[in-house]
Every structure is written in C-alpha cells, then in structure tokens.
Structure 1
Amino acid sequence: MCGFVGFSDPGGPDGPARTTAGRMLAALAHRGPDGTGWCRHAGLTLAHCALTFVDPEGAGQPFRSASGAVSLVLNGELYNHGELRRELAATGFVPRTGSDTEVLTELYERHGTAVLERVRGMYAFAAHDARTGATVLARDPLGKKPLYYARIPGGIAFASELTALLCHPEVSPAPDTDALADYLVLRAFPAPKSACAQVRKVRPGAFVRYADGSLTETEHWRPRVGPAPGARTPRAGEAAERFEELLRAAVARRVTSTGRRLGVLLSGGLDSSVVAALAQELSPGRPVPTFSAGFEDTDFDETPHARAVARHLGTEHHVVRIGGAELAAVVEQEYAHADEPLADPSLLPTRLVCRAARERVRGVLTGDGADELLLGYRYFQAERTIDALLRHIPAPRLAAAATLTARALPVRSGNLPAAQALRRLAQGLGAAPEHRFHLANAPFAPAALATVLGPAARGALDGHRPFAEIARLLTAQPGPLSGLQRAQLAVVAHFLRDVILTKADRGGMRSALELRSPFLDVDLVEYGNSLPEGLKLRGLTGKYLLRRIAAPWLPRRTVRRTKLGFRAPLARLLREELRPLLLDTLAAPALERGGLLDPAAVRALTDDHLSGRRDTSRALWALLTYQLWYEGPRARP
C-alpha cells in the first residue's frame, strides 16, 4: 500500500539527510505514486511514499502525534481504524484527519507496543518516541508487509524493501551465505535472515526495538495449531456457522474500510471464488471487477473455471492472456532489479495479472491463506496417506517404490506431472512430518548443497539448519501435535509467510496494487487453527468446512473441484524463451566472479534440462533468480 525508509541521524544540516532519504525513497517509487513526505524527528529521519486508501487529503506521512512526541510511518492499513477512532474520541481526543495512520500514532503514544494487541490489518510500521529515544519496527502477525533493517554506525536504518535499504551509504550489499543455503532449500530467504549479511528482516508477528545502542526483538503473535487444552470440540454445523461469520467479517473489513473500489484475483478455484462471492454480495447492483490469468499452455489454464464463476456471480470479469513471451519479459525486465531473490515461478503470472488489474483498480482481494488454514493442498492429503502407509512399510522401501515408479513414467513438463510429484514425495519420506513439504519442493536437498555451492559459500554448511524457524515455532504450541498438524505449522512458517506473502506483496506493489487476503484475518486464522483436523481434512477431502459453507454460493463443480495450483510453465520456459538468458547468466565466467556457485555443477543441471534428460527446472530457477539479482545493478563486492 505504501513504502517507507528511515535511519538514525543524530544531527547536522538537513541537506545530507534529505539527500539520503530521497535516494532510498526513489527505490520505492513503485509502491507509492500518491505523494511523498519526509521529516527529522529527535535524531531520526523518516520518509514515506503513499498509495492512499483512507483519507487521501489528510493521510500524509510521516505522521506526528498531536503532542509531537511520536512520529510514525505506516505501510498497510488498519481495517478496524473506525472502531479504534471512536474509542479515542470517547477519551476526549479530537482527530485532525480521517486516516488510520493518525489512529495508530495516537494509540502508540498512549499504549506503546501494547497497541499491537488491538489493531487488525496488514501492516509494517516504524515509530519513534522522542520521550524515550526508542525506535520500534513492527510487522503484522502473518507478515503481509515486508520490513528490513540494519545496524549502522550510531544507530539503525530500515526500509520497506531491501533495494531501498541498500541505498543507504552505510549498508553493505555483501551476501549472506548462510541465508543463501537456506534459500536453495526453502525458495526464499526466511526471516529474520535476508540475502545480505548486514541486513535482517523483522519477523512476522514481531517488533524490534532500538534504543541507547541496544536492539531487542519481541514477538507479539505466533501461530498455534490445534485446540487449546481442555477446549470443547465444536460440532461441524456449529463450526461452519462460526467460520462463516468470521469470514464474512474479514471480507467486509477489507471492503468497507476504504471508499476505493476493489477487485478480486479470481483463479476459478474454491478460495478465490468464495472471496469473490462475498465481495459481490457487499456490492449489490455494481459488478465487482475480477481478474484471471489465461495461459496459452492448457495444462496451466483455469480460465473456463474462472469464467463460470464470474458468470454465476455476475462480476465484471477480465482475462489476462499470458504466453511464454510475456512471462520471459517479466524476468528480463525486472529480476535483476528485484528486491530479493524469490524462487517461486508463480510470481511471473502474478505480476502480469496485477499489472493489468492496476489499470482498473488499486486494490484486490485474494484467496491466499485458505489452503494453509484449512489443509487444502494436495500435499496434506499425501501426508495423511503417508502416515498410514508408514505404519506398515518402512520409509526407505516406500521411497524406493515411489522413485522406481517415477522412473517408469515419461518425462513431461505439465502442471506438476505424476513422475515429478512422485520424485518429490520420495525426497521427504524419511524425514520428520514438519520437514517433508519443504524437502518435497526444495530446489536442492540439504545434502546436495555441497555440490552446487562454490568455495566462497561452502562454509555456510557447517551447522546448517534450514528448519530452525520451524523448530522454534514448534516449541510454543499449546499441546502435543499430530504429524499433520506439525506439517501444517511448517507450511505456515515458511511457505505462507516467506514465499506466498512475499510473492503477493511484490507481485502487486511493483504496480502499486494492494493485495488483501481475508483468509489471513487474525481472528479467522486463530479460530481455524483451533479446529480439529477432521473439520479441515475429512478423509482425503481438504477444506471440508469451506466447501460446506460455500455450497449455496457457488456452482457445484467449483465447490467440489480439486485444487490445480497456480503455477507457470517453467520447464518449457527455460528450454525456450529464457534459454539465452539462462545460458548467459549461469555461464562459468559469471559464476566464477562471485565464487558462490560451482560452475561445473550448474552446467550439469543446465545440460540435463536443456537436453530433456531430466527436468531440473526447479533447481535452475532458484539459481537463475539468485544470479540475476546478485549480478544486478547494485554494487557487489
């Protein structure tokens, strides 16, 4: 929705501070076309670029409290700002604007970080309190909005994107090889690490406080899975009624908190179709704009399903036609300038659909989060099947059987073909349930990293723990978890927070389009997480509760439909439209310059894929995405 930067600035003339702030903010221009602002506040410089949804005339930032004690910059929106404003007014406070930023600033001055227990929305913000000299950087519970920071001489610097933070003269772009090893397994740089050694991310659901040279991190929220000890298990009908109530409220908060018209990214799957149905219900007599990706490759195309839902609901539907040339153009034009490498190819069609949607609206609703919340991925069905099989068949024998079956199937490059799915499944069969999803989808297994990392990065493998964040979250659960619950928590910990939500923010905000995710409303998440497995995955049917709720709203085929998955035709793309870029970017001279990747190992992966011997597209995509960023326009050591 916006972007901001800031840095400690103990004194001196305005000129140098304003120049640095301007240079950093220019790197965020795509996030906020509605105006910029800056200020110096008791030793801290703040700057902000706006994409306004609430009170465009009065919402200028940085925002200073009425007393002048607190200055604050906000990226995102508080969906309950109206309720909180009324509470402030009841204390005698007279608001100067209608903005949610003013509400947050005044509440922060009164309550400090305790305000995080009250606000509902998606946000990252930085607040500076002149009374204590403390700077606080905070992110929303799920981490929908990014926030990077770095220690610098005399203080701290921070920004909404890594690219902007690297524009500060005291922040180094030197790569973090430990984080690179994580990225090659997890497809993203998991918070609190980043691609750069000096730079950290604020964890989702946490805040970082800097004061008097000391920096501390505190969690204000963390995901918990399973019923609380002693809690009563609701009946299916009761759970459905409560879940529908919370879902309706979540959609309404996101639609009614702004006077701006919002659209919906409509794939034709259950999740986005439910969101579109509720959004259209809130807009009687005015069709909601819906947008879907129309792939030339029929294995990936869901437009017939999306059109059927749009006709049923009466939305104003738009199909964005996507072919190999359009996907390749996104890589060639944007990836060298990317904020941070992200090895999720679905970012490509997401960018194209968001770019087209921005021509008509400045915000859209999505179905993100439903699969993680309600066990909708086919992986969760597989996890339940694996659990049953492992009671009778040792993991090595089961993995061998899956591998042999995969070898007997033809090599093809469709939307998750059977051979590829079986090979991935075999990779994780001997692992703990909380690791299997990531190992099945990893560009590189942890044991394979030693072969692909170059001499400058192999030291990162000493004590390498790519699943450390999962282990940390597992320690604070309300009770013992089943294997399926452990798997769900692991998917939320990395895939949702570090991959899906990073993709959503980057895919939309490169075009100044805000993405809002009702299924990730904290109240809904907490209720969904408290429900027993059987109300989410019944037998091998995922999202059981949502299907039950949605039956009166959508075509029967949509309600019963198996999830396809929003993917790009990556294997073919690398062999055809992106072949020249792949060969050039991953050529030995380029890799030898950095020393982070082994040229011989990378060449073997490239040859295998381009020759059709085996599909190594997942590994190549992670390497290509990283190397484009590493060799990009930022100065590298």
Structure 2
Amino acid sequence: MCGFVGFSDAGTGRENARATAEHMLAAVAHRGPDGSDWLHHRGVTLAHCALTFTDPDHGTQPFVSASGATALVFNGEIYNHAELRAEVRAAGVTLRTGSDTEVLVELYELRGKRMLDRLRGMFAFALHDARTGTTVLARDPMGKKPLYYTLVPGGVAFASELTALLRHPAAPRTPNVRALADYLVFQAFCAPASAVSGVHKVRAGSCVAYERGELSETEFWRPRLAPDTRPHRGPGRREAARRFEELFRAAVARRVASTDRRLGVLLSGGLDSSAVAAVAQQLTPGRPVPTFSAGFEDPDFDESDHALAVARHLGTEHHVVRIGGPDLAGVVESELAFADEPLADPSLLPMRLVCRAAREHVRGALTGDGADELLLGYRYFQAERAIELLLRVLPAPRLEALVQLLARRLPARSGNLPAAAALGLLAKGLRASPEHRFYLSTAPFAPGQLPRLLTPGAGAELAGHDPFAEVSRLLRGQPGLSGVQLSQLAVTTHFLRDVILTKTDRGGMRSALELRSPFLDLDLVEYGNSLPTGLKLHRFTGKYLLRRVAAGWLPPSVVRRTKLGFRAPMAALLRGELRPLLLDTLSTAALRRGGLFDPGAVRLLIDDHIGGRRDTSRKLWTLLVYQLWFESLTARPRASESPAYPALS
C-alpha cells in the first residue's frame, strides 16, 4: 500500500539528503499515489509515498512518536490495530490519530522488538530509535511486503524496492552471481540475497537491526509443522472443518472490515479465489463485490467461463480482462526492463494486466494465494504422496523408469501443465530428497546444468554454493516430518515467499493496487500447520478441509474441480510476438557484454525452441527476464520508470 526509502545521513547535509531521498522515492512512486513526504530524524533520512486505507487524513508518514524519539515508515496494514490500540492506551499513551501507523510506533516504544509477536497483518517497516541510535527493519511472517537494505558509509540504506535502493549514491551495482544461480533454479532471487552483491532482503518473519556500526538479525516467526509420525490427538474432521471455517471467515473479515474503501476479488474460477469471493460477498450483502478474471485467447489457459459461473452464482459485479499474445508482449516490452528484480514466473504478465484493469474500479483486492501451500493443493503434493507409497515397494531407478514410460505414452500437447509434461518433470527429481524434489522437477535449470550455461569466470564463483541452504535452515530443528511435510515446508520457503508473493506484490503495486491474501492470515496458517497431513491431503484429494467448508457456498463443480493454474503461453509467445526481443536481448553480442552466460549454450536453446525441436521456453524466459534487467542495471533511469512527485520540501 506504500513505498518508502531511507538511509543514514550523518554528515550528508539537509539539501543533499533531501535530493537523495527524492531521487530514490521517485523509483517507487507507483506504490503510493496519494502523496509523499520526508523527514530528517537525528542522523537518518526517511521518505514515504502513500496509498491510504486507514485514517488517510492523519496517518501521514514518516510518522514520529509522541515522545519524538522514534520515527517510522511503514508499508502494509496491521489488521489487529484496534486491539493493539487498546493495549497502548491502557499503558497510558494518548493516541493522536486513528491510523495503524501510530499504533505501531507507540507499541514499539512500549515493547521494543518483542511487539513483532503481537502483529497480525502484512508489513514491512523501517524505524529509527534515537534513544539508542538503532535502525530496525522488519518484514511480516509470510513475507508479503518487500524490504531491501545495504551498508553504506556511516550506516545503512533501505528501500521497498531494489530499484529505489540502487539510486542511493553509495549503493553497490555488481551482479550477484551466486544469487543468480539460485534464480536459475528457483525462478526468483531468494531472501536474504538479492540480484546485486552487497544488497540483502530482510527475511520473512525477521527483523534486522543496525546499531553502533553492526548488523544483527532476529527471527521472530518461522513455519513449523506437527510431525505426522507422532500420535495425533487433535480434532476430528468435523471439528477441524468448523474451526478452519471460523478462522477463514475471520481472515476475510479482517481484510474487508479494516478499511472503508471498497475491495474487489481476483477471481480465477478455481476453489481458492471462489471461496474468498463467497465469504467477501456474504460480508457485504446487498452490495455486489467487484470480481476480476483473465480471459485468454488460448483455450488451454482460459478459465474465464468458470470464473463467470462462480460470479453469477455469488451475485458479484464481474469483469473479464481479455488477454491475447500482443497484450502479454506489451507488458514485457513496456515494463519488464524496469522491473524491480528479475522474476521468472510468467504469470506475472497476466497478473499485471488484470491488476491494471482492476485498479480502474478499486484500490485493493483479495486473492486466493496461499491455499495450495497451506492445504496441499498442488498436484505435486499428490505426486509426493504417491512417491512415498511407491518407494516402499519399488526402488527409485525402477520407479523413475516407470514414470518416464508413462510420460512417453501420454499424448503431448502445448497446454497448461499437460500430464505428460508433468510426469516428465517429476521424473527429474525422483531420486532427490523430498525437500528438494519440487524444485528439481520444476527448475528452469538444474544445478548441474549451470556450469555449461555460465561463462567460466561466472561459474568459478559458485564453488561450494548450495542452492538449498535456506530450505535446510528452515527445516533445522524439525525432526520426524514425513516426505509430504518436508516438501510442504520447502515449497513455502521459496515458491510461496519468493515467487508467488513477489509476483502478487509487484503485479498489484505497479498499478497501486493493494492485494490481500486471507489464506495467509497468521492465525489460519498456524492452525493449518498444526493439523495432520490427512486433514489437508485426504488420500489424494488436496485442500480437503476447504472443500468440505466451501461445499455450502459454491457449486459442486467448483468444489470438485482440479486446479488449472494461472499461467501464460510462453512457448508460443517466444516463437511469435516476443521473438524479435528474444533474439536481440539474448544475442551473442549482448551476452558477451554481460560476461555471465555462454553465448553458444544460449544460442542452442534458442535454435531448438524456434526450430520446434524441443520446448525450451522456461529456460529462455528465465534468461530473457534476467538479461532485460541486467541491461537496465547500468542504464540511466528513464522517465517512464515511475511517475515523478513534486520536489520534497
């Protein structure tokens, strides 16, 4: 809902600090069109641009505490701020506004970093505590809002987006090759690393403090599962469904009731977003909820008829955004070179188009993000369950051969996740451990392929590099988990946090559209994580509890429907509308200038795809997205990057 920047400014001078803040903030102006301001606070400069939802007249940022000791810039919303407001008042603090921003800064003065355990919402914030000279940077437990930082002479600089941080005159600009290796596997630059060496992201559920020249990190939340191997004495199916429904309704209500502004729903027609739309409509009887869906020209990717059927059933105000190849190519050419950081999820393209259209009607929208990870809805989890069972009777090599045989015998098509392709991908990871299997089966490039793809100089930087280090860190201290549980935590680590939620934030905020995800409500997530796998993946039916609960709200066809997924037809685009851009951006001359990718290896991928010998679109898209960003890294900022604000006064 906002964007912010800041930096240590000792010795900088007021005018120089203001000019730097203005230059940095202009790069994130799309995140907050309702106004901007800046503040010099005892050695730290803070600047903020706003997209307001709560107390827009009085919650202006940067916000300073009543004592004057603490200054804050904040992106997001604290959904339980009314409850926390009462706590702050009970401690004797007189509040001056109705904003959640003030509650946050005053609660910090009362509780310090311990207050992070109390927050329910989506947030990234930076505050400066003049009492100790400490700068604190924090992100919510799921990582819904981004936050980058780097050390600069005399302190630290930070921003909501990498693009803004790189406008600080002391920010580094060298590509991070080890993080690039992770991107080629995971499709994203995974926290705590970034695409630039020396620039870091605050981890989800963590805060970073800069004090007396030192950085320290504190993790205040991480996902934990109750092992299936232990005797389970939890609720039965009926009680679990009742409690799940109660928490889910509360999660939707928190997001709808926290603002007087009208919210829409991004409605795909699948179970997750349909359930969100159903509860949102129940909360606003007599006032149709605006719903928005994508209608693709390619029928293999189109779910608009399903979304329309749900909208009619619920009585929403429905809008269909028609999307063809030229529309998707237009997003690439107009926006991708200015993207904050490379993200190789092609569904970002239709997401941008739907969000752009939705912003003409609403300032915020609900999504179904998180349900598949929380409730084991992906087909992959069904496959993982089957692997667990089959490996009890078949050795891995025989099972691998069987899967490959099935994949060859199924009919091939170019649609959205055809069965043959899915089985072929799965076969790649069969011999891996469960927590690695999802990524190895879906990676654009397997780790073992990177030495041939990168130049010798770039490849030499990967010595000893482990792409699964963050997965291993989050699994540490959680013994006894089943294969499905290990894979669930692994998928949450990078695919949900670094891919899905990055796409959601970027897709919406580029148009100043705030997206809210009820399935990622912390109370709901913790309850889901406490349940045994069988209440989420019942035999081979994923999202079992949600299907039970939603049966009373939605048509049976929606409740039973297999997930299609929100994707873009990249194979056809790279042979068609995007072919000139592909050939130019990944030309031998361009790659030699960059010095990271081997031109011969990339040329082979291009020739195979355009010649129709094999589909290398996932690999090419990953390379194209990175190279577009890389070429803009040293280019001058362009006027079209972001709207400019009037000079900060």
TM-score (norm 2): 0.96
- Paired residue for 1:366? 367
Give the equivalent residue in structure 1 for 2:280.
279
> Aligned pair 1:383/2:384, yes or no?
yes
Which residue of the partner structure matches residue 610 of structure 1? 610
Q: What is the aligned partner in structure 2 of residue 159 from structure 1?
A: 159
Q: Is 1:392 paired with 2:393? A: yes
Query: Residue type of the partner of 1:174?
Result: T
| Cα offset, 1:227, TM superposition | 5.5
Indicate the residue corresponding to 2:415 in structure 1. 414
| Aligned residue in 1 for 2:171 | 171
Q: Secondary structure at the match of 2:425?
A: helix
In the other structure, the counterpart of 1:292 is 293
Moved more, 170-179 or 224-233: 224-233
CA deviation vs aligned residue, 1:530-558 (integer Å, no higher than 9, x gap)? 10011001111100000000001001110
Which segment drifts farther, 540-549 or 387-396? Answer: 387-396
Q: Which amino acid aligns with 1:238?
A: E
Residues 395 and 429 in structure 1, CA contact (< 8 A), matched pair in contact too: yes
2:491 equivalent in structure 1: 491
The aligned residue for residue 586 of structure 1 is: 586
Tell me which amino acid in the other structure corresponds to 2:195: A
How big is each residue's C-alpha offset from its partner over 1:230-270, in whole Å with a ceiling of 9 and x where there is no partner?
A: 76221000101111111111111001011110000000000
Would you say the 8 A contact 1:291–1:320 is kept in 2? yes
In structure 1, the partner of 2:639 is none
Match for residue 438 of structure 2?
437
Contact 1:181 1:460 in 2 (8 A): no
AA aligned opposite 2:462 = L
Unaligned residue ranges in structure 1 (runs of 5+): none
Deviations 1:487-514 (A, max 9, x none): 0000000100000000000000000000
CA displacement, residues 19-42 of structure 1 (integer Å, 9 cap, x when unaligned): 000000000010000000100111
After superposition, where does 1:439-454 map in structure 2 within 5 Å?
439-454=440-455
Q: Indicate whether 1:201 and 2:173 are aligned.
A: no
Asked whether the 8 Å contact 2:6–2:47 carries over to 1, the reply is yes
Q: CA deviation at 1:90?
A: 2.6
Q: Name 1:35's counterpart in structure 2.
A: 35
The answer to whether the aligner puts 1:86 opposite 2:86 as a matched pair is yes
Distance 1:430 1:230 in 2: 29
Q: How does 1:293-312 map to 2 (within 5 A)?
A: 293-312=294-313
Matched residues in 1 for 2:384 and 2:227: separation? 20
- 1:376 alignment partner AA: G
Q: Is the 8 A contact 2:21 2:45 kept in 1?
A: yes
Contact residue 126 and residue 135 of structure 2 kept, 8 A: yes
Q: How far apart are 1:398 and its partner, in Å?
A: 2.2
Residue 442 and residue 256 in structure 1: after superposition, are their counterparts in 2 closer, same or farther (change >3 A)?
same
1:108-119 correspondence runs (5 A): 108-119=108-119
Distance 2:536 2:183 in 1: 30
Encode CA deviations 1:571-592: one digit per residue, 9 max, x unaligned.
Answer: 1111111111111110000001
Distance 2:338 2:328 in 1: 16
Alignment check: 8 A CA contact 2:232 2:532 kept = no
Native 8 Å contact 2:227 2:482 kept in 1: no
Matched, 1:555 2:555: yes
SS at match of 1:58: coil
- Contact 1:336 / 1:633 at 8 angstroms: preserved in 2? no
Aligned position for 1:535: 535
In structure 2, C-alpha distance between the alignment counterparts of 1:130 and 1:508, rounded to whole Å: 34
Structure 1 residue ranges (4+ consecutive) displaced by more than 6 angstroms after TM superposition? 228-231
- In the TM superposition, residue 527 of structure 1 has moved relative to its aligned partner by 0.4
**Residue in structure 1 matched with residue 47 of structure 2 by the alignment:** 47
Q: CA–CA distance in 1 between the matches of 2:208 and 2:501? A: 20
8 Å CA contact 1:226–1:485 kept in 2: the answer is no
Tell me the equivalent position of 1:210.
210
Alpha-carbon distance in 2 for matches of 1:14, 1:372: 47
CA apart distance, 1:437:
0.5
Q: After superposing the two structures, state which structure 1 stretch, 417-426 or 114-123, moved more.
A: 417-426
Deviations 1:110-167 (A, max 9, x none): 1111110111100000011000000000000000000000011111000000000000
1:525 is displaced (CA, Å) by: 0.2
- Asked if 1:518 corresponds to 2:513, the answer is no
Number of the residue aligned with 1:474: 475
State the partner residue of 1:127. 127
CA contact (8 A) 1:124 1:140 kept: yes
Paired position in structure 2 for 1:500? 500
Contact 1:411–1:615 (8 Å) recurs in 2? no
SS of the residue corresponding to residue 619 of structure 2 reads helix
Q: Secondary structure at the match of 1:632?
A: helix
User: Are the aligned partners of 2:30 and 2:509 in contact in 1 as well (CA < 8 Å)?
Assistant: yes
Cα distance in 1 for partners of 2:565, 2:159 equals 32
Local SS of the residue matching 1:286: coil
Whole-angstrom CA distance in 2 between matches of 1:364 and 1:12: 41
- Matched residue, 1:545: 545
Is this contact kept in 2: 1:155–1:213, CA < 8 A? yes
- Give the CA deviation at 1:86: 1.9
**What secondary structure sits across from 1:480 in the alignment?**
coil
What whole-Å deviation, never above 9, does each CA across 1:320-357 have from its counterpart, x for those lacking one? 00000000000111111110000100101000000000
* SS in structure 1 at match of 2:210: strand
Distance 2:283 2:461 in 1: 52
Deviation at 1:394, TM superposition (A): 2.0
Q: Distance in 2 between matches of 1:68 and 1:601?
A: 58
For the pair 1:265 / 2:266, whether they are aligned, the reply is yes
Tell me the distance in 1 between the aligned counterparts of 2:532 and 2:127.
39
The whole-number CA distance in structure 2 between the counterparts of 1:411 and 1:37 is 56
The answer (yes or no) to whether the contact 1:9–1:43 under 8 Å persists in 2 is yes
Q: Distance in 2 between matches of 1:88 and 1:58?
A: 18
Work out the CA distance in 2 between the residues paired with 1:60 and 1:456. 49
- Cα deviation digits, residues 9-61 of structure 1 (max 9, x gap): 11343100000000000000100000001001110000000000001101110
SS across alignment from 1:401:
helix
The root-mean-square deviation of aligned C-alpha atoms, in Å, is 1.3
Question: Which consecutive residues of structure 2, in runs of 5 or more, have no partner in the other structure?
Answer: 637-649
1:405, distance to aligned residue in structure 2 (A)? 4.0
- Quote the Cα distance in structure 2 between the aligned partners of 1:152 and 1:411: 53
Aligned residues: 635
Residue range with higher mean Cα deviation, 393-402 or 197-206? 393-402
Using the aligned pairs only, state the percent identity.
Answer: 71
* Native 8 Å contact 2:264 2:289 kept in 1: yes
- Assess if the C-alpha contact under 8 Å between 2:273 and 2:367 holds in 1: yes
